[in-house]
Amino acid sequence: MGSDSFGMMMCIFVGCLAAVSAGNFNEEFDITWGDGRGKIFNNGQLLTLTLDRYSGSGFQSKKQYLFGKIDMQLKLVPRNSAGTVTAYYLRSQGPTWDEIDFEFLGNLSGLPYTVHTNVYSQGKGDREQQFHLCFSVDGIPIREFKNLEAIGVPFPKNQPMRIYSSLWNADDWATRGGLIKTDWSQAPFTASYRNFKADGSRSWLLQQMDSTNQRRLYWVQKNHMIYNYCTDTKRFPQGFPKECAVH
């Protein structure tokens, strides 16, 4: 996250950030709901969230972040995860909150996960983009949200945000618009987290995407984007949001 733009990138699947030093989940996070379905293992090096037919689970960071780079390894629900959502996001407090969302929508075995992204600034969202994860995301940017305050688009730069994650049932919409329901015979469903690292140095205030990452971003959006609010004419018949003219 920086002052001019931020890129949305994730590291998914175990093993893709071997060089990243691991934070301690006991020190950095609180499990906030789930009645024991969220657990921390290995002296704080591994956190798991579990979903069954009665409840999901979730956690949040103890600290808040205004700028920086945040790394987290996620191992998503394997095999048939249809109907489940693993959400990973940053959010500030209050009625005009800022939020940066990743939601991993469950799938039938053998099909790619869909990652649903959104950006809220001063309580205004509706900026969805979706991607098929046919690849392992390893520091590859999938989305950039530029600072366009000069044309009247609020930018999330002034409100510190906590990290949140949850695993929950959303079979009314998550997989093929709700046509495919959660198969509870596959429960419990589990998502795993490790190798958390947050770099909150002020150098990130000036960070911009270099040409290599710009090319990677273009490749991802050309080959793996399946929905972009900035091209949805049915949703915006009166004209697209201001930022779409620049993006």
How far apart are the C-alpha atoms of 26 and 199, rounded to whole Å?
Answer: 18
Percent of the chain with pLDDT over 70: 90
What pLDDT, on the 0 to 100 scale, is given for residue 77? 96
Given 99, 128, 144, 243, the catalytic residue? 99
Spell out the SS3 assignment of 28-63: HEEEEECCCCEEEEHHHCEEEEEECCCCCEEEEECC
Q: Across all residues in the chain, what is the average pLDDT? A: 89
Q: At a CB cut-off of 8 Å and minimum separation 6, what does 210 contact?
A: none
Q: How much is the average pLDDT of 7-12? A: 46
State how beta strands 69-75 and 189-199 pair.
antiparallel
Q: How much is the average pLDDT of 150-175? A: 95
Q: Are 191 and 77 in contact (CB under 8 A)?
A: yes
3-state secondary structure at position 174: coil
Nearest residue to 111 via CA among 80, 151, 136, 70:
80
Categorize the per-residue pLDDT at 247 as very low, low, confident or very high, splitting at 50, 70 and 90: low
- Token reading at 85: 């959502």
Is residue 103 part of the annotated active site? The answer reads yes
Q: Within the chain, where are the H helices? A: 25-28, 211-224
- For residue 124, the one-letter residue type is K
Categorize the per-residue pLDDT at 39 as very low, low, confident or very high, splitting at 50, 70 and 90: very high
For the cut 90, the answer to whether the pLDDT of residue 239 exceeds it is yes
Q: At a CB cut-off of 8 Å and minimum separation 6, what does 238 contact?
A: none
- For residue 15, the one-letter residue type is G
| pLDDT 10s digits, 44-90 | 999 999 999 999 999 999 999 998 889 999 999 999 999 999 999 99
- For residue 179, the one-letter residue type is L
